[in-house]
Structure 1
Amino acid sequence: MERRQFLKQSALASSLFFVPNFIKAFENLATTSLGYKRLVIIQLAGGNDGLNTIIPFNNDVYYRNRPTIGIQKNELIKVTDELGFHSSLQPLKKLYDQGHLTIINNVGYPNPNRSHFRSTEIWQTASHSEQYLQTGWIGRYLDAYGKQPYNAIEIDDSLSLALKGQHINGIATKNPQVLFRTSQDPYFKNVLKHYQDEHLSEHNLGYLYKTMIAAESSAKYIFEKHKTASNSYEYPNNEFSNQLKTTSRLINSGINTKVFYSSLGGFDTHAGQPNTQSRLLKIYAEGIEAFVSDLKQQGTFNDTLILTFSEFGRRVKQNAANGTDHGAASNVFIIGNQFKTPGFYNDMTSLSDLDENGDVKYTVDFRSIYATLLGNWLGVEDDTIVNKTFSRLDFI
């Protein structure tokens, strides 16, 4: 088969660049054991409004800036004398009361970027504002401590930059059965049968051959593990909960995966924010409730930590369309059962001291959270992965 015909006819080979992406997993591997603790990362994509998620209900500045979208005291869930949860977050209030939730306020980074794409890229690569990296922080973790693409899995059809390393990528799949079935496509099998390394004189074809080997091996492993487990809790019927349902089933299977990544989109609330955010936070909170309950029932919650972030918060002052524009710092949720001091990790910053754009100033660099998760939870050297030494936070 000629090279041109091979590349033209191989639909599956083309799909590897989308569902999912792989990089060779056969060299430059560290010998350090991965251990057993797992990290689940959830992005609230679009820029969730942190001020209407965790509400400073005794702050007059909040209500003056939000005369129509500010959440009134009788409409929220009071948690402390100063702060309350959005009413859609009742399931998270239960986790808070059980000591399973830590909330970190004012999380951001210096010179914040208000572009969705760029700020997401900054969070996913752990770069600074003027730095452009081609690898993600989870990808660099895989480079140093991983052995196979399935050591980090994104529950999606395409792989985020966060899981792309220099030598090894994570793997993306919404459905392990579909992934495995795709890897068993007759044409795919025919390519693997007839194209051996010694027959591939061109570098790109040799690389693609190794990629396809990794694809088939990972797909089979994930599918076989997925078959051995089941969910013990009923999940809501929506796409986000389905992501968490798949994640839980894989965790409960004992799969050798350290990091899971998923997202819930739609938080870019420039107009009509109250109804949209209320609906999305309800989807998030109910999905998390089912996920945690499932893990608890199957004995895997103690070894799982869940990080929820958004690429930025929203402007303090509402706009004319009953919405909010792109902001800067916001809150981060961390859910687990291993906290030193659960609850609010820090106070909310002053709304009387905003930046030049009218945004909340950050007091906690998000990379300090990464350093803490890497060092204190996953037990690895964090400074080489986040490319700088950041102070670890004292919550785990």
Structure 2
Amino acid sequence: MSSSPSTPRPDAACCDEFRAVSRRGLFTGAIAVAGATTIVGSAVVTAAPAMAASASSVLVVLSLRGAADGLSLVVPHGDPVYYQARPRIAIAKDQLLAADAMFGLHPKLEPLLPLWNAGKLAAVHATGLPAPNRSHFAAMEEVEDANPGSTTRQGWLNRLIGADTRTSPLQGFSIGGGVVPGSLFGDEPVMSAGSVQDVRISGDDKWAVKDGRKRSLHTMWDAVPGPLGKAMRSTFGALNDFQPVKSAADNSTAYPDTDLGHSLATVARIVRGDVGVEVLTVDQGDWDMHSDLGTLAWGQMRQNADDLARSVAAFMADLGTQTSKVTLVVLSEFGRRTVENANYGLDHGFGNAMLVAGAGVKGGKVYANWPGLTLDDDADLLVTTDYRSVLAEIVSSRFGASTATVFPGFTPSPLGFMTT
């Protein structure tokens, strides 16, 4: 049957609903057996029963994707090789923030200075993987699995969740496009969504009559035995338990209008919703600065550092009554070379700096077993602190979890940047 474009079709509303539901992908990603991923709207949920409860500690892991240059963020001005290696892009000591005899912070990190001065922000330098790995994706996988030599696909944050007796998809949450990072991937249930609004049942909107979509799904799945029925019921429970987050204030206008700003605003809103989320992950991209890293006057480093600092400062200020629960750790898959290249950039390196902020942090200083920079053929910052030692100190002090469970086969070295 055909119809004239000028004559409205009687089923136009129905077609609009169908197109809207199709765009949201009602059937994209069906549930399989336990451990598979369920897609509900744009939210991803791994199958397990939901049990919302207030979290006593919250860990936010911010990954600087692309290998951030820790020597630019936390500058070793007291090492003379730093200025020899970077005659054009080095930052003069008198421009650095909170400078001590060896280190100082990049000037664009100024929004974080109140946290530093209050002892709520620390840096740990010369950190990284136990052996060099200059492949972005291989290094990311190794950092996030944190279990060298294992063939088990389970990340360290998933193991941390598993150390808790509670089992809920709300314990772990990735802010992103639906694919959880390796650190959260594994047997334990987690969620992933790009925004608070994405955590919904696809099609449960203005077209649904008297919660018809929800009622239909419950009718279909509530009595179904086995993993498939359990998966669907856990999904419904997680969505119901998430409702307080949607009621929490959206303070995103206080953040930079950037991907990181939007993501951290979502993280803060989830934390303030207090529905039992314990670990959250978020990314900031574009740190792969082989060229145009630049100087204090121009370049990618000043832009990214400014976005990082303003976004994190806004996030810490936005936590409200949940502030005393939240610890933030900032890391990257590896560092960059000591010596600048011809294009005002830096190639892939080894050692790096990590930042830790918030609850339990003994801040206002740089923790480092400094190896000294060199101008030899490799010209890399050597790793003297395995990154897992940094994470293990947070895990043990804030969650009371066994580091042997979260980081199998690894014995962490005490660093002292967290209260016990």
Given candidates 72, 80, 98, the residue that maps to 1:60 is 80
- The answer as to whether partners of 1:180 and 1:223 remain within 8 angstroms in 2 is no
AA aligned opposite 1:294: D
Shift of the 107–124 alpha-carbon distance from structure 1 to 2, 3 Å rule, reads same
Deviates more, 1:80-89 or 1:228-237: 228-237
Residues 63-84 of structure 1: CA deviation (Å, up to 9, x unaligned): 2211222223344335213222
Residues 115-154 of structure 1: CA deviation (Å, up to 9, x unaligned): 11111111111123x5444001111122231410111111
Q: Give me the identity figure in percent.
A: 26
Given candidates 75, 83, 87, the residue that maps to 2:103 is 83
Alignment partner, residue 156 of structure 1: 176
AA aligned opposite 2:220: H
AA aligned opposite 1:336: G
Alignment partner, residue 194 of structure 1: 220
Alignment partner, residue 292 of structure 1: 316
Whose Rg is larger? Answer: 2
Q: Residues of 2 paired with 1:97 and 1:25: CA distance? A: 43
Shift of the 228–49 alpha-carbon distance from structure 1 to 2, 3 Å rule, reads closer
Size of the aligned set, in residue pairs, is: 374
Alignment partner, residue 34 of structure 2: none
Shift of the 132–46 alpha-carbon distance from structure 1 to 2, 3 Å rule, reads farther
Determine if the alignment matches structure 1 residue 136 to structure 2 residue 160: no
- What displacement does 1:24 show? 2.7
Map 1:225-236; keep pairs closer than 5 Å: 225-231=245-251, 234-236=254-256
Structure 2 residues not aligned, in runs of 5+: 1-24, 32-36, 206-211
Q: Residues of 2 paired with 1:222 and 1:184: CA distance? A: 15
Q: Residues of 2 paired with 1:183 and 1:12: CA distance? A: 15
Q: Residues of 1 paired with 2:382 and 2:366: CA distance? A: 18
AA aligned opposite 1:291: F
- The answer as to whether partners of 1:40 and 1:305 remain within 8 angstroms in 2 is yes
Map 1:90-101; keep pairs closer than 5 Å: 90-101=110-121
Please tell me the root mean square deviation across aligned C-alpha atoms, in Å: 2.8
- The answer as to whether partners of 1:66 and 1:318 remain within 8 angstroms in 2 is yes
Deviates more, 1:325-334 or 1:65-74: 65-74
Q: Residues of 1 paired with 2:292 and 2:89: CA distance? A: 9
- What displacement does 1:209 show? 4.1
TM-score by structure 1 length?
0.85
Alignment partner, residue 270 of structure 1: 290
Alignment partner, residue 312 of structure 1: 334
SS of the residue 1:95 aligns to: helix
Shift of the 92–218 alpha-carbon distance from structure 1 to 2, 3 Å rule, reads same
Shift of the 308–163 alpha-carbon distance from structure 1 to 2, 3 Å rule, reads same
SS of the residue 1:384 aligns to: helix
TM-score by structure 2 length?
0.81
SS of the residue 2:408 aligns to: coil
Greater helix share, 1 or 2? 1
- What displacement does 1:325 show? 0.8
Determine if the alignment matches structure 1 residue 335 to structure 2 residue 335: no
Map 1:368-383; keep pairs closer than 5 Å: 368-383=389-404
Determine if the alignment matches structure 1 residue 358 to structure 2 residue 379: yes
Q: Residues of 1 paired with 2:124 and 2:351: CA distance? A: 11
- The answer as to whether partners of 1:177 and 1:223 remain within 8 angstroms in 2 is no
Shift of the 233–376 alpha-carbon distance from structure 1 to 2, 3 Å rule, reads farther
Alignment partner, residue 240 of structure 1: 260
Q: Residues of 1 paired with 2:245 and 2:173: CA distance? A: 13
- What displacement does 1:229 show? 4.3
SS of the residue 2:354 aligns to: strand
Shift of the 47–175 alpha-carbon distance from structure 1 to 2, 3 Å rule, reads same
Given candidates 174, 191, 214, the residue that maps to 1:171 is 191
Shift of the 86–11 alpha-carbon distance from structure 1 to 2, 3 Å rule, reads same
Q: Residues of 1 paired with 2:375 and 2:54: CA distance? A: 44
- What displacement does 1:190 show? 4.1
